[in-house]
A and B are shown apart, each in its own frame.
Chain A
């Protein structure tokens, strides 16, 4: 057991699985000698060799494509995309091939690969380094999308992703990489990919969040406690497919729901959660379902970053609204 940051937990999970399973290999830009720009793959090339930890040429689309070819032939490629801003060229291979190889060959060929990338805003980075594109991938049938919110969950969920027989897109919230530590037991135990996590139990309102927003939700819950509001926080983690039952049961209990999402509001994953609640828990609602999300604008450069990312104040405000029934 050790206290690890989220990025250290990622490193530990990668090392664990590479030792356990010879077919696992890593590819990405600067992941070998440099250990990855965020050090997620630190020390792994020295330990497992250059053939299994590949410093690839600079070609995201190509990297995703060769990963599909490797996975179809029985390897388990774990691709690192340096930033979600550079993930878009991989959409061609992920949507056109990874997501459907099993289906279109009736299971004859499969694609057990993982595409991981640092995700989200908050590190004062230059442009294009602050994206939250999970909805693009989550909208694609045949893909899995996973977003951890803590070191322990990152460790367990990444192990699960690597062991999953289908393609997984794994987003690691960049600003949580080293923000805090947590006890992580490096025992190779995976967490389930089909269940939400209960981050906080409460009876007055259900706050649904994922990624870095879980922490913001927790801060909001502390502030709300002083106002006598007892919030329940659900960390969705596995966005696609997602465990809607846990969320519905919580809403049935509390009657109120606020969804917190770092990605832009419109057509985001939060809309999916809201739609499911409207369809299946409507009569439990005492107030409309509210979404607290980034504005539908281009992610601003870092000077306005704090104003862009949904804040604790906005979350608290939304909860107050629903407590009043609106």
Chain B
């Protein structure tokens, strides 16, 4: 405080006579140091200092009658802590508010509440109902029609576990990502017999990332920022009877072929045994889908945010090829690169794929 007043003397006493000052202006005092002595009806009392500080001014002289609440001593320095109000208490804190960007929601179904309640009652998902009302309005008749149809087919089972997660993730990815795809074929006749296809793909992909690092990054759409990543943690799409898993093989750019093969095998075993921990399914920086082991040539696989690229490899086939202007038969590996065009340009994607293909074409 800046101004110290004569405090409550107790026992209802309202005033005292100033006997003697123990300090003078300019003095530095400590907490509890006696400032003055006063005489009440009962006794002579020392008044201690309520704080440490420098005395600026004294009020009153020896012999004065001082009343409880009257000013006694002014300390140098800041004013009394400003309550900043004359009524109540205004709470203060040092917390700072940060702005939050809000995303956009999709368009809701047009349906009046009574019809919505009907749909709920008949267990009809409004998303399945084709509206027949004006301006896309779903009518009660529409709901009843769909209810009848659904009653004649198998009951819907809610998706569970990984299938449910896949449904969610893919919906989200589809809504978010501006996907574009480049496809090409690469001739792999130079490969040694029994070459490890996955390891070759990984090696090539690493080279691609070195050439065009933007494909190994995370995009944060809410703030439109790009996080470039140095490590390549590769998500590998694995198909199991329980559905699609994408476990992550860590730091593939820094590991040799043997280490990678061992890691892959361990990963597949863990997935098959359903003992892969959740943290191993997170944090991919780029994804590889070797769907060719099942079948198919080209694809436009789904880019999973926050990654911006997924490389798909189709089934290796023997096909008619042109070598040095001559028709022949060769081993062809089809490649599909889907990238998030919000972040990756066609040029970057093309160059990435070219490097991948160049590496795969080698021995």
Contact = CB atoms under 8 A, between A and B. Distances in A.
Asked whether any CB of A lies within 8 Å of a CB of B in the complex, the reply is yes
Interface of A: 282-288, 325-326
Contacts of B117: 283
12 contacts: A282-B114, A283-B113, A283-B117, A285-B112, A285-B113, A285-B114, A287-B112, A288-B112, A325-B112, A325-B133, A325-B134, A326-B134
Given A286-B112, A325-B112, A325-B137, 15 more contacts: A282-B113, A282-B114, A283-B113, A283-B114, A283-B117, A284-B114, A285-B112, A285-B113, A285-B114, A286-B114, A287-B112, A288-B112, A325-B133, A325-B134, A326-B134
Interface string B41-85: 000000000000000000000000000000000000000000000
Q: Which secondary structure dominates where chain A touches chain B?
A: loop
Nearest to A288: B112
Contacts of A287: 112
A285 B115 CA distance: 10
Interface residues of B, number: 7
Contacts of A282: 113-114
A204 B112 CA distance: 18
Contacts, number: 18
Nearest to A278: B113
Interface in B75-131: 112-114, 117
- Identify which of A287, A288, A326 gathers the most chain B CB atoms within 10 Å of its CB: A326
A285 B117 CA distance: 11
A325 B112 CA distance: 9
Nearest to A282: B113
Interface string B267-285: 0000000000000000000
A148 B36 CA distance: 74
A286 B114 CA distance: 7
A320 to B, nearest CB: 14
Nearest to B139: A325
A12 B199 CA distance: 102
Nearest to B114: A283
A286 B117 CA distance: 12
Contacts of B133: 325
A282 B133 CA distance: 20
A283 B113 CA distance: 6
B351 to A, nearest CB: 55
A286 B113 CA distance: 8
A284 B114 CA distance: 7
Interface in B247-263: none
B355 to A, nearest CB: 59
Contacts of B137: 325
Contacts of A283: 113-114, 117
Contacts of B114: 282-286
Nearest to B133: A325
Contacts of A326: 134
Interface string B4-35: 00000000000000000000000000000000
B135 to A, nearest CB: 8
A283 B114 CA distance: 4
Interface in B131-156: 133-134, 137
A67 B11 CA distance: 47
A284 B112 CA distance: 10
Contacts of A325: 112, 133-134, 137
A-B pairs, 6 with minimum CB distance: A282-B113, A283-B114, A283-B117, A283-B113, A285-B114, A285-B113
